[in-house]
Amino acid sequence: MNTIKVKGMSCQHCVASTTKALQELDGISNVVVDLEKGEAHYEGDVELEAIKAAISKIGFEVE
């Protein structure tokens, strides 16, 4: 399982948006977003730049 830090999430709506954005990327599955830790966990092999772009598009930042 891969992990990225997501900066800017503050509520369950943020978690849902982040989960959806990651699930829409081809090659990613089993997305779990942890609001308390500010992390997103996922399975798959997708370039970090594509992940950063998807997260940035919804208003958050990947650290």
Taking only the tens place, the pLDDT of each residue in 1-49 is 999 999 999 999 999 999 999 999 999 999 999 999 999 999 999 999 9
The burial of 25, by beta-carbon neighbours within 10 Å (0-12 exposed, 13-18 middle, 19 or more buried), is given as middle
Give the global pTM.
Answer: 0.92
**Residue 42 has what pLDDT?**
97
Would you kindly state where each structural domain of the chain is located, as residue ranges?
A: 2-62
Q: Cα dihedral sign for 35, 38, 40, 41?
A: negative
**Residue 60 has what pLDDT?**
97
Does domain 2-62 fall under CATH 3.50.50.60? My reply is no
